[in-house]
Structure 1
Amino acid sequence: MTLQLSSLLTIPISFATCSIGCKYEHTLPKKIDAIASAGFQGIELSMPDLLSFANLYLKRQVASNEYDDLCTVAKVVKAMCDTKGLKIMMLQPFSNFEGWPEGSQERKDAFERARGWIRIMEACGTDMLQVGSTDTPANKLTKDRAAKVGDIKELGQMLAQHKFRLAYENWCWSTHAPDWKDVWQVVQEVGLSNVGLCLDTFQTGGGEWADPTTESGLVEDVSSEELQKRFHNSLEELSKTVPSSKIYLLQISDAYKPKQPFSKEPDETGLRPRGRWSHDFRPLPFNGGYLPVVEVAKGVLKTGFRGWFSYEVFDGGPDGKGRDYQLDAFAVTARECHKKLTQECSED
């Protein structure tokens, strides 16, 4: 499939609210203003942003399970987005859901959380929930893979009752589904029309091609030549085996190569190296990163996918310690990055 620029220009673009803002005063309303002004068409509404705004709007600390109040505030957010012409494309990030042992308190809590988030989806007017493949340590989860798949299926069925969709994302540090092939296999086994994929340039490039724990910043279990071949073949397989209809969005970000290799061990919170890398070292494309963002995007586009490109970055600077910027300027930079990415992907 030749990637023609005319078709790429039809791609709708979104910005995750968690991806912009570096100061306390960068509130959700200000983020929404900046995203809309830069010409984006939608947002991913991030739960931490909704909680922060709820604290401001209701003038008290709102707990993550106070769903009545969160739904009230979600309706306010919807009204703000409607005024700005923005679609709330997705609610995110729903994490550590699947795989808890049957009868455990954790499993009960996970499904209670699911019911609460569905209420928030109804209130804010979105029809899609992003679910990240769990990174809960394996010793806390069931060993039964079918049970993990069954949990995703049950959640998909819950969402289907409201005509909602589930976008399942491979987190490259996940316990059981770190690669696109893993989540695609789960989606196939689930077999529901409303369960598809959230693909991500960082999760694919940062999982299969790059490694923050090595001196080179690359996966080093094979030669560089073999790595390039293996990665190319993976993207080729993606483009030929995943139907475009089962890709619900492509999230876009790059990654800085760490100045010093990360420890291969989990940190004090149990977060694995790629998880730590993800949290603070993900700039916009063409802004100092080194991942093969264009190659991943082209692999996805060759499926025929022309749905949402959504920018989800966590730019703490090359050292991961944070950086200062203006909201409006950052949103405009993201918009310009999308123009360049579109041009780079074009094969006209």
Structure 2
Amino acid sequence: MSYKPAIASMSLGRAWVHSLPEKLAQASKAGFQGVEIFYEDLEYLAIEKGPLTDANILLAAEETRRLCDRNGLQIIGLQPFLFYEGLTDRAQHAEKIRKLKLWFQIAKRLGTDIIQIPSNFQPDGISGDRDLIVADLIEVADLGLQENQPIRFAYENLAWATYVSTWESLWEIVHRVDRPNFGCCLDTFNIAGRVWADPTTVSGKTPNADSELQKSLDSLVRTVDVGKVFYIQVVDAERMEQPLVEGHPFYVEGQPARMSWSRNARLFLYEQHKGGYLPVVRVAEAFIKRLGYKGWVSMELFSRSMADPDPNTPASHAERGIQAWKGLREELDL
């Protein structure tokens, strides 16, 4: 398996600002070979055709597959299956399972076998009980295995998650779930943005950032089974000119600072001129060179720039993304 560049479709512009057909066309034109599909994009495509029903979502998935086929793009995954594990209200849990069964149908129509589950970042209504979290994720893995075409799950630690915010906690859970179709997505932002960076500080960094990151990456390389890494995401972020605390333009009361930072200020790799400062190459090198990962490399992005109504936004984001991939490929000699 060789390295193949993918882009998260939302990184080409917000779903309600720029159309999915245009974003996919620009991803293909720039040279991407695959895309991650966001459920939100399917919703907006479905709404264009009528009420937001399960049936119209499935029709939107079928249309998306046709668009990707036309543009020579492989769909590598569907995401994000949000707010699932650890729910204390088990009626809500049952509703999530019902929704997941729809996602199985969506994934099949898209032609992918991967659903990504980000770690839960609800501030309340969830438990940090690892036994419950593991049991919930075993449940989805077993359901995925029962499908005629088994579904795989890529669990991802979000840097601002309530309980599973580090790769170490992520890996403990993946190891305990112990199912062949349950693995992880490793993301440079969610690792460096948790261990090395802190947007609430003047420096933008955690205490002993470099040594702590080195220890973390050394441990990751020793610990993680690369066969459980279903794909990786490579992305940078802006250093805040002032700490992201109350009074900052991105500050949202009750929302973790890293989440506000992530939603507004991510950048593609090699965009230091825009304020990029995370040690992304160092983390990506640990994934690819030291751990030995081969497969899809997704240039995922969230940023306020996606909401720019300029019709050139999808094209400019796609071009920025492919330049990031080309730079990484050259620097790591891939």
TM-score calculated relative to the size of structure 1: 0.88
Task: Say if 1:323 and 1:219 are closer, same or farther in 2 by CA, change over 3 A.
Answer: farther
Q: Which amino acid aligns with 2:293?
A: F
Aligned residues: CA RMSD = 2.1
Aligned length: 324
* Counterpart Cα distance in 2 of 1:322 and 1:55: 21
| Corresponding residue of 2:257 | 273
Deviation sequence 1:100-124 (CA, Å, 0-9, x none): 12x6332122212211211211221
Find 1:153's aligned residue among 120, 138, 152: 138
* Counterpart Cα distance in 2 of 1:312 and 1:337: 11
- Shifted more, 302-311 versus 255-264: the winner is 255-264
Find 1:250's aligned residue among 232, 236, 244: 232
Q: Which runs of 5+ in 2 are unaligned?
A: none
Q: Which runs of 5+ in 1 are unaligned?
A: 1-6, 221-225
Q: Within 5 A, what are the aligned runs for 1:1-348? A: 10-21=2-13, 26-56=18-48, 58=49, 60-62=50-52, 66-101=53-88, 104-137=90-123, 139-162=124-147, 163-220=150-207, 226-263=208-245, 267-268=252-253, 270-287=254-271, 288=274, 289-301=276-288, 302-316=290-304, 325-346=312-333
Instruction: State the shift of 1:332 in Å.
Output: 2.0
Task: Say if 1:336 and 1:37 are closer, same or farther in 2 by CA, change over 3 A.
Answer: same
* Counterpart Cα distance in 1 of 2:43 and 2:146: 26
* Counterpart Cα distance in 2 of 1:67 and 1:215: 47
Q: Which amino acid aligns with 1:230?
A: E
Task: Determine if contact 1:215/1:260 at 8 Å carries over to the other structure.
Answer: yes
* Counterpart Cα distance in 2 of 1:215 and 1:295: 23
* Counterpart Cα distance in 2 of 1:309 and 1:25: 26
Secondary structure of residue in 1 paired with 2:68 = helix
Task: Say if 1:336 and 1:304 are closer, same or farther in 2 by CA, change over 3 A.
Answer: same
Secondary structure of residue in 2 paired with 1:130 = strand
Instruction: State the shift of 1:143 in Å.
Output: 4.5
* Counterpart Cα distance in 1 of 2:9 and 2:209: 34
Instruction: State the shift of 1:61 in Å.
Output: 4.5
Give aligned-pair identity as a percent. 32
Instruction: State the shift of 1:267 in Å.
Output: 3.1
Q: Which amino acid aligns with 1:105?
A: A
Q: Which amino acid aligns with 2:121?
A: D
Task: Determine if contact 1:255/1:290 at 8 Å carries over to the other structure.
Answer: yes
| Corresponding residue of 1:223 | none
Deviation sequence 1:287-335 (CA, Å, 0-9, x none): 1311011011011111110111001112325xx9868543223312211
* Counterpart Cα distance in 2 of 1:68 and 1:193: 31
Q: Which amino acid aligns with 1:128?
A: I
Task: Determine if contact 2:11/2:317 at 8 Å carries over to the other structure.
Answer: no
Task: Determine if contact 1:235/1:299 at 8 Å carries over to the other structure.
Answer: yes
Deviation sequence 1:30-67 (CA, Å, 0-9, x none): 011001111111110001111111122x1x342xxx22
- Shifted more, 33-42 versus 257-266: the winner is 257-266
Instruction: State the shift of 1:13 in Å.
Output: 1.1
Secondary structure of residue in 1 paired with 2:6 = strand
Q: Which amino acid aligns with 1:241?
A: T
Task: Determine if contact 1:280/1:321 at 8 Å carries over to the other structure.
Answer: no
